[in-house]
Structure 1
Amino acid sequence: MFPQCVPSSSNPLAVDEVSGRSALLGRLGSMEVRLARNASEIAAAQEIRFRVFYDELGAKRQYVHALEQRDADRFDAICDHLLVFDTAIGGPDHRQIVGTYRLLRQDGVSRAGGFYSDGEFELEALMARHADRRFLELGRSCVLPEYRSKRTVELLWQGIWAYCRRHDVDVMTGCASFPGTIPASHAEALTFLAHNARADREWDVRAVATRYRSMDLMPIEAVDMRSALAAMPPLIKGYLRLGARFGDGCVVDQDFGTTDVFVVLPTEWISGRYLNYYGADAQRFAA
């Protein structure tokens, strides 16, 4: 749901009126990551999503999207919106936003009628097998072109990890995308994931039957690990580095012009070196 916070101000440390916690979840130099505090900041995040998904990547434009120049759907109203700010830009807070990630906790799913990923992957079956775990869906990740750097990715993950600690999240899930609607054009990368990064039976998630497309597209002996990794989008490579595993099958999303895979990342899988890297600051901001 929306964070119920004080109106936007020039103070990035403004606190949530309900929890008393700071909205800030991380900082690197002039860059900060925190949750959206009001409708203006959420609208600014939707505008950035439109610029990236529609203007840059060519997603199909619905009439309302083209009219409002925002990427918006029914999930926005019940999600938290993680935002990256460049405070060096100056001006109103919502004009400093350069990146965003959408976060949907399991306790908000009943109001949404399910997770966004349910339309592509059999997430409910996974959750039923792990009824004692707290799930978080990550989605709608995008960053403006001039900010697509290691620094911005690090700040996003610092914020996500602080958020997970703050809300006792056990499992991160969500769709990640390859560009284009022809899985065969990513045959080497998808085959690598199918053979080397599949979730085991306990954590496996299958694409819904009507949308299932195989990821095993070429002989595994013909796959070169270096070229397969080099061909993967940065977000998917980032998930791999953290220790994530991937579900069974991919899904073609015609509206967004992507080929989607499913990411599964229980927090205990995150490699120790990344916990050490993000952990100290994330724990401080999670308090």
Structure 2
Amino acid sequence: MTVQTARAARSARRLKTVITRQPSLIEAAQRLRYEVFSEEYESDLGSCTPGLDADEFDGWCDHLVVTDEASGQLVATTRILHRDSADQAGGFYSEGEFDLSNLYQLPGTVAELGRTCVHPDYRSGATISLLWASVAEYLVAHQVDYLIGCASIGMSDGGQKAWRIARHLQQEYLADNRFRVTPRRELPHLTHPVGDDRPVEAPALIKAYMRLGARVCGEPCWDPDFRCADLLVVLEVNKLADRYSKHFMRRQKA
């Protein structure tokens, strides 16, 4: 395939999103999650079903999936756990990694975003924008005030990159004290201090969080199963970046 043909194929993709609890679509999302997390993070997913990333929270979540209409392939997914469902599920997923006591004191409704991934062949701005646009629609429609979620950074280099990214995000995007959380499992500190002044490149999904207006809630947590560093981030829905919030508020009123 020539470069021109490849570009034409990408431009011809027609992507659609749906929010679902349909078992077949959830299983397809779990299969994509397994492929991405196991290959990119070398994660020990511990699933009872080979080839699937599944846990006890999936049944309580609304799953947002992005599909390529031409091929029928599921190419991106995330899941949203609303506070009402979290109460029934025994809490949020991120409570296994962070003490969320401060967040439970917030006025309004909290929801959690998790297990977000995009197929490597579809990691374009268009796919990621479509994914977050659909999340924004959900937040407005379900009157969510605060969205939380774990933002993951790979640890393949032993943690140097993770610490550099974490420190950069804390310097530029740290939330105020109302949103501070404490990791239950601190990220191991490096034997040599992080002193590299070169620009840091955060993962695309984390950059998308920050463009939406998200903030990090404190120190990173070490996730040994996924072999990554996690930062809890929070998004105040009423402070969504203007290009998202104004557009979706209009759509909901239409």
TM-score (norm 2): 0.86
Counterpart pick for 1:213 among 184, 187, 198 = 187
Q: Please give the per-residue CA displacement for 1:27-69, whole angstroms capped at 9, x wherever unaligned.
A: x97211111252111111111111111134311153624xx31
CA distance in 1, matches of 2:222, 2:240: 28
Q: Please give the per-residue CA displacement for 1:266-286, whole angstroms capped at 9, x wherever unaligned.
A: 1122222332455545x37xx
CA distance in 2, matches of 1:63, 1:244: 31
Name the residue aligned to 1:197.
Answer: 173
Counterpart pick for 2:52 among 64, 70, 84 = 70
**Runs of at least 5 residues in structure 1 that lack an aligned partner in the other structure:** 1-27, 91-95
Q: Do 1:214 and 1:250's aligned partners in 2 also have CA atoms closer than 8 Å? A: no
Q: What aligned pairs does 1:77-88 form with structure 2 within 5 A after superposition?
A: 77-88=59-70
Q: Please give the per-residue CA displacement for 1:205-259, whole angstroms capped at 9, x wherever unaligned.
A: 2223xx123899647xx745xx12xx21011111111111101111111111111
CA distance in 2, matches of 1:199, 1:274: 20
Q: Do 1:214 and 1:249's aligned partners in 2 also have CA atoms closer than 8 Å? A: no
Name the residue aligned to 1:35.
Answer: 19
The secondary structure found in structure 1 opposite 2:101 is helix
**Change in 2 beyond 3 A, CA 1:134/1:63:** closer
Counterpart pick for 1:45 among 17, 29, 37 = 29
CA distance in 2, matches of 1:109, 1:156: 22
Name the residue aligned to 1:257.
Answer: 227
Q: Tell me which amino acid in the other structure corresponds to 2:87.
A: S
Name the residue aligned to 1:157.
Answer: 132
Q: Do 1:215 and 1:249's aligned partners in 2 also have CA atoms closer than 8 Å? A: no
Q: Do 2:173 and 2:216's aligned partners in 1 also have CA atoms closer than 8 Å? A: yes
Q: Percent identity over the alignment? A: 37
Q: Give the superposed CA RMSD.
A: 2.4
Q: Do 1:198 and 1:246's aligned partners in 2 also have CA atoms closer than 8 Å? A: yes
Q: Do 2:187 and 2:221's aligned partners in 1 also have CA atoms closer than 8 Å? A: yes
Name the residue aligned to 1:21.
Answer: none
Query: What is the aligned length?
Result: 240
Q: Tell me which amino acid in the other structure corresponds to 1:87.
A: E
Confirm or deny that 1:101 pairs with 2:49: no
The secondary structure found in structure 2 opposite 1:88 is coil
The secondary structure found in structure 1 opposite 2:65 is strand
**Change in 2 beyond 3 A, CA 1:79/1:171:** same
Q: What aligned pairs does 1:1-287 form with structure 2 within 5 A after superposition?
A: 30-62=14-46, 64-65=48-49, 68-90=50-72, 96-128=73-105, 130=106, 132-180=107-155, 182-208=158-184, 211-213=185-187, 218=194, 223=197, 227-228=199-200, 231-276=201-246, 279-281=249-251, 283=252
CA distance in 2, matches of 1:189, 1:63: 29
**Runs of at least 5 residues in structure 2 that lack an aligned partner in the other structure:** 1-11
CA distance in 1, matches of 2:114, 2:138: 14
TM-score (norm 1): 0.76
Q: Do 1:207 and 1:247's aligned partners in 2 also have CA atoms closer than 8 Å? A: no
CA distance in 1, matches of 2:231, 2:63: 22
CA distance in 1, matches of 2:103, 2:79: 21
Q: Do 1:194 and 1:215's aligned partners in 2 also have CA atoms closer than 8 Å? A: no
CA distance in 1, matches of 2:76, 2:47: 24
